[in-house]
Amino acid sequence: MPIVDHPLQDATTFATLNRQLEERSADEIVQWATQEYRGQIALTCSFGGPSGMVLLDLALRHDRDIPVLVLDTSLLFPETDALVIAIEQHYGISVQRVRPALTLAQQANLHGAELYNHNPDLCCKIRKVEPLNQALKPFGAWMTALRRDQNPTRANTPIASWNERQQLVKICPLAQWTERQTWSYLHANGVPYNSLLDTGYTSLGCTPCTQRPLSADDARSGRWVGFAKTECGLHL
Ligand code: SF4
């Protein structure tokens, strides 16, 4: 594994690093990340899609103390809330629930009821993006389970990159993985996953903005149906 100089913000350094990481397995990348940034790295997991559960399982194999963060928008499916609790029991960890500054009632007072129906970008900003920005402030690195095959907007996801917004290193160990690999890992390792994925959902977010996919070729086609929006903004 490469030894990198800090701060790791230089594009040339990242290009060199990524050339090396592209040759490594996801497990090796997680091992490198958890060693390189031990005590400074956090993992975010939506507890919706399957790849987050793979990454969580891999990360805990290498670092039992890695902070695991979930964005609790107060609009998650009950099945997602149940999975968070199941994971805490399965691994003996405590998941950090990152909550927005505004309750749903406060948000409705300020911006109108059901903001997700008329301005989902603002709703995501309040309930996801800003809370994540705050939650990641103490950390120097952030590990997340983006895959290149999830969406055309994610097709060029680098394994490691400097994230200007959060001022930290963002690491996507599963960038090269496919949906099939993800499910093979979950089944082979008995990793708990969201029960809604057995009922036709392929990508899960908040209840008002999630349907079963409209297209079998696009796992995220059930998200924000009726809007041009395809991302909540966490990864833009
Ligand atoms: Fe709001 Fe929908 Fe974004 Fe959730 S996914 S924060 S409900 S707009």
pLDDT tens, 13-56?
Answer: 889 999 999 999 999 999 999 999 999 999 999 999 999 999 99
Q: How far is the CA of 234 from the centre of ligand 1 (A)?
A: 12
Tokens for 70?
């979930």
Nearest Cα residue to atom 1 of ligand 1? 123
8 alpha carbon, distance to own chain's centre:
22
Taking residue 126's Cβ as centre, other Cβ atoms within 10 Å add up to 20
> 3-class SS at 140?
coil
pLDDT at 2: 43
Q: Is the pLDDT of residue 107 over 90?
A: yes
Find out whether 226 and 118 touch, Cβ atoms under 8 Å: no
pLDDT tens per residue across span 154-208? 899 999 999 988 899 999 999 999 999 999 999 999 999 999 999 999 989 999 9
User: What's the CA gap between 130 and 168, in Å, rounded?
Assistant: 15
pTM: 0.92
Find out whether 173 and 44 touch, Cβ atoms under 8 Å: no
Find out whether 189 and 57 touch, Cβ atoms under 8 Å: yes
Domain 11-209 has CATH 3.40.50.300: no
User: What's the CA gap between 209 and 222, in Å, rounded?
Assistant: 8
The yes-or-no answer on residue 124 being catalytic is: no
Q: Which of 123, 220, 225, 231 to mutate to test the pocket of ligand 1 (most atoms within 8 A of CB)?
A: 123
Q: Is the pLDDT of residue 137 over 60?
A: yes
Q: How far is the CA of 67 from the centre of ligand 1 (A)?
A: 24
Q: How far is the CA of 86 from the centre of ligand 1 (A)?
A: 24
Domain segments of the chain: what residues? 11-209
